[in-house]
Structure 1
Amino acid sequence: MKNLVILGAGTSGTMMANHLVKKLKKEDWKITIVDQYKTHYYQPGFLFLPFDTYTEAQVKKNGKDFIPKGVEYVQEKIAKIHPDKNFVQLENQILSYDLLIVATGSKIAPEEIEGMKGDLWRKDVFDFYTYEGAVALRNKLRDWEGGKLVVHVTEMPIKCPVAPLEFAFLADSYFRKKGIRDRVDITYVTPLSGAFTKPISTKKLSYLLEQKGITIETDFAIERVDNEKKEIVDYADRALSFDLLVTVPTNMGDEVIERSGLGDDLNFIPTHKHTLQSVAHENIFVIGDATNLPASKAGSVAHFQAEILTENILKYVQGKPLEEEFDGHANCFIETGDNKALLIDFNYEQEPVPGTFPFAGVGPLQLLKESVLNHWGKLAFRWIYWNMLLKGISIPFVSARMSKKGKKIQTIN
C-alpha cells in the first residue's frame, strides 16, 4: 500500500482530503492528514469580527469534524520535510510518503517590521488576519471614541488582497452608524501605486475611497513603526501618524518550509502555476497559500485549485501527463459598507471586468458593481464554506477555470 500525506488541515488540506478519499482506491492508498491545531477557522470571517457582524462561534469549529472517514488524522507539529528521502518528521513520529501534498498555508509575521510588534501591539496597533487579533480589535473598537485610523498593508502577497480595503470601507460604515464618523479620520496606506491590485479595478473603483472620505497614501514601503511618536515611517522617511493602526503585516509561509529548504525568501514553495506540482520535486504538490503562484491567496482560489489538483493527482498516480489546467481563477466579493458589496472574477491573464455572474446576461450577480445581492452573497459564503467547500462539494455553475461568458472584456485606455 502506498502513502499519501497531506500537510495542513486548513481550507486546502481539508478539501483535498475530502476529494481524494472518494477518488483513490482504499486498498491501494493510505491517506494521512497532519495538523498541529484542533480548531479550524473560517478566515474570511475575521474581517467581520471587529465590527460585531459575526460572533466568535461563527468563525471556528473543531477541525477534526471535517476530516472524512477513511483518512487518518494526526494532530502533531511538523518538524521537517525530507523531500530527498520521502518522509516527514513530526514532533513524535516519522511519516513516509509516496506522494506529498503541502497545504501549510501562510501567516502574519509582524516581527519582520521594526517596532510593529512593540509596546503598542494589540493596544493601539492591531491585525485582523488572526483570530486573536480580530477579537482584540473588536474589543478596542467597541469603546474607541475616534481619532486617526490608519489601515495599512505592509507588502504583497497577502491573504485576500482586497480585505484591507474592505476593512476601511466597513470602518466608514461602522463609525457612521455609531454617530462618530466626523471624529474619525481614515487613511488607507498601501505599497502599491493604486488602491487595488489590478489596474482596471483601481480605475473603476477608486471613486469609493473619495465617496467615503478615505484618504489614500500609495507607494508606501514601511521601514518601521515608531511606538513613541505613534507613526509609521517608510524608507523615504515619510511619516504618517496614527491613533489606531490596523495593519496587515508581512505574510509568510510556515516555518517548516524554511526548515526544510523548500521555499523562497517568504517561505512560499516554487510551484508550477498550471499543474500545482512542486518545481523541485515531482512527487510533491502544493496548494493554497503555501504556493508562490501569482494568484490571489484566497479561499475561492484554493477551492478551484483543489478541483484541478485532484484530477492531476489521479493522473500522476496512473503515470499519465499532468494537465496544465489551473488558470489562476479567483472569485471575490468586496464589502463596501452599508450592506453592499462588489464582485470580481479574474485569472492570471484576465483582469476583473464588468458583466454578470454566473450566467451571461442573467446574473443574478453583477460584476464590478455595488449591490445588496452581492453583500448577501458574501455572507452566504460562510454557509457554503462550512457545508460545501470543506467537504469537497463543487459550487453549482461555478467552474474551476474562469469563464468569459457574461463579461465585458476590455482593456485600460
Structure 2
Amino acid sequence: MPNIAVIGAGLGGLPAAYELRHLLPRDYTVTLISHEPNFTFIPGLIQVALDLKPLEHIQLDLETLAQRHGLNWVSGGVTALDIPNRRITVADEKTIDYDYAMIATGASLAFDLIPGLGPQGGYTQSVCTPDHAIEARQAWLQFLDNPGPLVVGAVPGAGCFGPAYEFAFMAERELRRRGLRDQVPITYVTPEPYVGHLGVSGVKNAQALTAQLMQERGIEVIDNMTITAVEAEKMILANGQTLPFKYAMILPAFRGVQFVQDVPGLGDERGFIPVLPTQRHPNFPNIYAVGVSVELPQPDQTDIPIGLPKSGQMSEAMATAAAHNIAVDLGVIQAPLQIPTLDALCFAEFGDTGIAYIAAPVIPDPETGQRRSSYAVRGPWVVWAKAAFEKYFMLKMRYGVGMPWFEKLGLRALFKLKLFKSVLPEDIQALARV
C-alpha cells in the first residue's frame, strides 16, 4: 500500500502527518521523519530564552505521539532524496521508499554569511531552535548579573522578524521588572525599510503602532540597515557605525536545507522549494512542500533584501491543503483540490501588551496590488490570545488533531481569514505562484 512520507515535524510537518492519517485508510502508511526527538512550539522559544518558561512546557515527544496516532516514526536527519527512485536516505544509512513526500523541514540558518554571527563560534544569540534558546537563556542569566547595552534585530535575508520584536519588548519588560532597565540601553537594528514592516508592506497602522511602542519603551531603532560583522561585544554596521553590546540576539538569513540544495531542480538558488498553489512541486508531481521551506516571492522592492514571512498559521494552512490534495491524488477522496489563501495572522507578544498583524493575503493581488484586509491592532488581549493559542495548539498536537473545522470557522469569524479555497485541476496552472 502507498507510503506518504512527511519530512519535518514542526508547525507544518506534524499537523500534515495528522491530516494525512485522518484522511487516508489505515492500511496506508504515513511516515514521519525528523532529526529532532521532540515537537517544539517554536514561538514559545523567546520565553525560554528569557527564562520565563521551561523548554519542556512547549515540547512533546515525537516517538510517543507517532505510536499513539498511527504514524510510522523515523528518527534522523534526511541526507539524500532520490526523486527518480522515490527513495529517502536518513542519517546516511536508512532508506525509505515513498509514493509521495511532503517536505516541511523549515529553513537552515545562514549564520556563516556574516562574520561573528550566531551562538556557535560567534558572539550573538538566536531563538530559532531549542538548542539556541537554551544557550540564549544561559547567556541571558549571565547578562543579568553584569548588564550593559542590549542589541536585538535581524540581518538581510531574514525570513521572519516577529521574534526579534518580541524579544526586544519582552526583554525590556523583564529588565524593568528586575530594576535593571536604567543600566541597559536597547537598540533594535533591522534591514526592514521601516519599523513594523515585518517583511509585509502596507499593513494599516503597523508602522505607527510599532514605532509608538518603541518610543514608549525607550528602544532606539536603526532601520534599513545591514550588519556587516560582529566582534566580541561590538557590532559593525554598513554605515560604519559601531554598536557596543553585552548581549545581542540577531536573527540570521534563511536558506533551504542541504538535501534540497543537493537535488538539481528541486529548489531555487537559495534552496527554497517552488510550488504550485496546491503546494505540489511544478516539476516533481510526487513532491509537496509546506511552510518555511517553500519559495514565496517577496513583492516589495526594498533597499536591502528581506524575506516574506511564513507564519505558523500559514504553515499549518499549507500543510492541511497539501494533505487534502495528496488524498485527492490517491483517489481516496473525491473533492476539488484545495489551495491555501496565504492569509496571515501574527500575534506578537510585547510584554504587557501586544500587536496583532493581519495581512489577508500576505501576497497582494498582482493586478491591483491590494489585499482583502490588512491592518494591525494593539492591546493586552493579544498577549492573552497568544497564550491561549499556544495551549490550544499543544493540546491539538498531543491528541493528534490537524486543523479542525471550528478553528477555520473561528479565524474567519474573528479576523475574516479564509484559509482555503477550492479549485479544479485545470485551473491550477493559471493560478500558479511560480
Question: TM range, normalised to the smaller chain?
Answer: 0.7 to 0.9
1:292 corresponds in structure 2 to 295
Secondary structure in structure 2 of the residue aligned to 1:206: helix
- Alignment partners' CA distance in 2, 1:20 and 1:291: 19
- The alignment's C-alpha RMSD in Å is 2.7
What is the Cα deviation at residue 19 of structure 1?
0.9
| Residue 331 (1) aligns with residue 332 (2) | no
The match for 1:260 among 263, 282, 288 is: 263
| 1:50–1:26 Cα change, 3 Å | closer
Q: CA deviation at 1:64?
A: 1.6
- For 1:11 and 1:195, the matched residues in 2 are separated by 27
> Aligned partners of 1:101 and 1:192: how far apart in 2?
32
Matches within 5 A, 1:199-238: 199-200=202-203, 201-227=206-232, 230-238=233-241
Q: How does 1:154-303 map to 2 (within 5 A)?
A: 154-159=155-160, 161-196=161-196, 197=198, 198=200, 199-200=202-203, 201-227=206-232, 230-261=233-264, 262-272=266-276, 274-294=277-297, 296-303=309-316
* 1:364 equivalent in structure 2: none
Q: Is 1:15 matched up with 2:28?
A: no
Contact 1:305 / 1:400 at 8 angstroms: preserved in 2? Answer: no
List aligned pairs for 1:59-98, cutoff 5 A.
59-67=58-66, 68-90=68-90, 91-98=92-99
Structure 1 distance, partners of 2:43, 2:256, is: 18
Q: Can you give the 5+ residue segments of structure 1 that lack an aligned partner in the other structure?
A: 355-366, 408-413
TM-score by length of 2: 0.81
1:387 aligns with 2:388: no
Q: In structure 2, what is the equivalent of residue 310 of structure 1?
A: 323
Percent identity of the aligned residues? 22
Residue of structure 2 in register with 1:363 after alignment: none
Q: 1:5 Cα deviation (Å)?
A: 1.5
Asked if residue 128 in structure 1 is aligned to residue 132 in structure 2, the reply is no
- Per-residue deviation, residues 94-127 of structure 1 (Å, max 9, x unmatched): 2222211111112423222112248973xx5211
Number of residues of Structure 1 aligned to a counterpart in Structure 2: 386
Structure 2 CA distance for partners of 1:154 and 1:80, relative to 1, 3 Å: same
The residue matched to 1:169 in structure 2 has which SS? helix
How far, CA to CA, are the matches of 2:84 and 2:335 in structure 1?
Answer: 22
Q: Give distance in 1, aligned partners of 2:78 and 2:121.
A: 32
- Tell me the amino acid that sits aligned with residue 399 of structure 1: K
Q: Which residue is 1:369 aligned to?
A: 378
C-alpha contact 1:12 1:303 (8 A) present in aligned 2: yes
AA aligned to 1:175 is: L
Displacement of 1:400 in angstroms is 8.5
CA–CA distance in 2 between the matches of 1:53 and 1:186?
A: 19
Tell me the amino acid that sits aligned with residue 342 of structure 2. G
CA distance 1:120–1:178, shift in 2 (3 Å)? farther
Q: Are the structure 2 counterparts of residues 298 and 118 from structure 1 closer, same or farther at C-alpha, using a change threshold of 3 Å?
A: closer
2-side partners of 1:304 and 1:136: how far apart?
A: 31
Q: Give 1:9 shift.
A: 2.2
Residues in 2 aligned to 1:406 and 1:118: alpha-carbon distance in whole angstroms: 38
Q: 1:163, CA displacement in angstroms? A: 1.1
Q: What is the rounded CA distance, in whole Å, between the counterparts of 1:119 and 1:85 in structure 2? A: 37
String of CA shifts for 1:222-242, please: whole Å, max 9, x gaps.
222133xx3322444343332
Q: Are 1:41 and 1:61, in contact at CA under 8 Å, matched by a contact in 2? A: yes
Q: Distance in 2 between matches of 1:257 and 1:289?
A: 13
> Cα gap change, 1:166/1:118 in structure 2, threshold over 3 Å: closer, same or farther?
closer
Structure 2: distance between partners of 1:138 and 1:345: 30
Q: Report if the CA contact (8 A) 2:81-2:89 is conserved.
A: yes
Matches within 5 A, 1:87-126: 87-90=87-90, 91-117=92-118, 121=122, 125-126=124-125
Deviations 1:164-223 (A, max 9, x none): 011111111111111111111111000111122233312343211111111111111222
Give the Cα–Cα distance (whole angstroms) in 1 for the partners of residues 71 and 175 of structure 2: 47
CA drift of 1:324 comes to: 5.6
Change (3 A) 1:313 1:102: same
Q: Output the CA distance in 1 between the equivalents of 2:35 and 2:110.
A: 19
Distance in 2 (CA, whole Å) between partners of 1:120 and 1:50 is: 19
In structure 2, do the counterparts of structure 1 residues 31 and 150 end up closer, same or farther at CA, with 3 Å as the change threshold?
same
- Does structure 1 conserve the Cα–Cα contact (< 8 Å) formed by 2:148 and 2:246? yes
Normalized against structure 1, the TM-score is what? 0.85
What is the CA-CA distance between 1:323 and the residue it aligns to?
A: 3.2
Secondary structure of the residue aligned to 1:11 is coil
